Amino acid sequence: MAAYAEDPSSGVLRTDNARLAHEIANYAEVTHDAAKADEAEHNMPIREAFRIHKKAVFWSVVLSAALIMEGYDVVVIGSFYEQPAFLKRFGVVNPATGQKLIPAPWQSGLSNGSAAGGIIGLMINGWASEKFGPRRTYIISMFGMIVSIFGPVFSQSLKALVASEIVCGLFWGVFQTLTTAYASEVCPIVLRHYLTAYINMCWGIGIFLSSGVVRATLSINSDWGWRLPFVIQWVWPIPLILGAYFAPESPWWLVRQGRVEDAEKSVRRLTNHDLFSTEDAKRSVANMIHTTAIEREIQAGTSYVQCFRGIDLRRTEIAMMVFAIQLLSGENLIGQGVQFFTQAGLGTVASFDVNLALNSMFIIGTVASWFLLYRFGRRTLYIAGLVAMAIVLLIIGVLGFTSTSDGAKWASGGLLVALNFAYNSTLGAVCYVIIAEVGSTRLRAKTIVLSRCAYQLMNIICGIIVPRMLSPTAWNWGPKSGIFWFGSATLSAVYCYFRLPETMGRSYGELDILFENRVPAWRFKGSKVDQFGLSDPVAALPTSDEKISHESSKQE
């Protein structure tokens, strides 16, 4: 039975206190404290939130740096397909031109190797982070990363390189989702979109660094031309291990483990003691207890199976589609930027130079998204981004048909840079905000894992077809590929219009109530929610005798 009821006279979705009280000892006190914490969080200005929670911001930024490492590691392999030293070692002669290239099937294998390993790592993380906690899972995975890097550094064949990418992917999969969940759990509502969108910037910084390193090694003709970018991967793990060791544990995870006192200590470590008292920390944890109780009343378990049951099915579907749409939007052309520019007719050096400009858009676009998110919210910005990308992709595709002049080649390259800016200022960054908010707190880690698995599965599909779209020995579509992705982005925008809700400014408890009442996506923004039911005079709490009787029956 649902823990909520809609008041027909007011249209407000309320909590059913009589049912929820059986989930929490001292329910009246906890609810009172939780309501105060929730009200304070909703009314907190951005500047004050940053002053109070600057430690939480710091630790979130530190742990999210794992995505800089991953963004560098995952993408660097794609930059090698036109690098002379890499082609000298691993390339196959093209009979038509006499030049060496990496065949499209091997490009698919190299790209999909890390994706396949990442799916396994993702599933392990969904279980491990809930059982052992985000910090310990993070640290152990970093040690695994140190060992796995030996593989690509010392590979001598494409087969060995693919196997190495699979092993590395196991650990990259952990960081893809763990950092998002941690960022969403340590910061208040008003800062949540900044810290979760920042994860996209971390990816961008890593991708930009990888393109810069590969560009710098173009003049190295020996094996060190491609080995050196792999060796640099060892720079990241040790500092990140130290950061995770000293970081506070997620208070939400501690509450789910029943460690309430530890959760309060963690909140204290994440806040400014001069502005956030011990009583404030207690109220903040009370809000976590209340939200967790709401979700226990709704759902029976915290397994992967639960993600596909009841109202959680809708939440999981949205998260998975939002992440998969990152690739369905045409973003995968950006990941093959160097090859796209080469096939468009630019020279090797020019292609790598334009690729630097292309990848800088990950950083510039994410900064722009912070301002756009504050103004427009999640749903509007995500759909607008898809529409903008569809238009740019259509223009790129048409240019591929109409002209082969140098001006058209550079125009295609410039439009791809514009496409990346549109992507990162909208759905690229907004995706991480949505997946951090749309799942329930008890299933958050697993919901994010499943959403990233959807991305990786789509990545495998794109890893098969995109190299063939661009390869001169396969389909050889070049810029004409934009037409295909224009259609894909348009269909994605239609899906989001009907299914993607607005989560801006909502607490996790409010989102639970909105999903439980099956509110349509387009009504989320305007729906009124009373998460605590304190304004409902009819909602009576059980007496002490009733609570004791209920608890005794549960013990029996």
pLDDT average, residue stretch 72-96: 80
Which tens digits make up the pLDDT trace of 202-259? 988 888 888 788 878 888 888 888 889 889 889 889 999 999 999 999 999 999 898 9
More confident residue, 460 or 378: 378
CA angle 496, 452, 487 (to 5 degrees): 40
Q: List, edge to edge, every strand of the sheet that includes 12-15.
A: 4-7, 12-15, 528-530
The pLDDT value recorded for residue 553 is: 34
Residue 1, pLDDT score: 38
Question: Of 190, 10, 28, which Cα lies nearest the Cα of 540?
Answer: 28
Helix (H) / strand (E) containing 312 = helix 310-326
DSSP bridge partners of 239? none
Measured between its terminal Cα atoms, the distance across the chain in Å is: 22
The CATH label, of 1.20.1250.20, 3.40.50.300, 1.10.760.10, 1.10.3720.10, for the domain at 53-247+299-505 is: 1.20.1250.20
Q: What global pTM score does this model have?
A: 0.80
How confident is the model over 27-64, as pLDDT tens digits? 778 888 988 998 999 899 999 999 999 999 999 999 99
Domain ranges of the chain: 53-247+299-505
The 10s digit of each residue's pLDDT in 310-341 is 889 999 999 999 999 999 998 877 665 555 66
Longest dimension (CA), the chain: 87
What values do phi and psi take at 528, rounded to 5?
-95, 135
Residue 75 has pLDDT above 90, yes or no: no
- The SS3 of residue 528 is strand
Q: Which candidate, 509, 554, 527, 550, places its Cα nearest to that of 30?
A: 509
Q: Does 400 score more than 80 pLDDT?
A: no
411: which residues sit within 8 A by CB, 6+ positions away? 399
User: pLDDT (tens digit, 9 = 90+) per residue, 290-309?
Assistant: 888 887 776 656 678 888 98
pLDDT for the residue 111: 76
Residues 368 and 226: their CA atoms lie apart, in Å, by 34
- Reported as a single tens digit per residue, the pLDDT across 164-190 is 989 998 888 888 788 888 998 999 999
Are 400 and 440 a contacting pair, CB within 8 Å? no
- The model's confidence at residue 546, banded by pLDDT at 50, 70 and 90, is very low
CA atoms within 13 Å, Cβ hemisphere of 21: 22
List pLDDT tens digits, range 122-135: 888 888 988 899 99
Stretch (H or E) spanning 101: strand 100-101
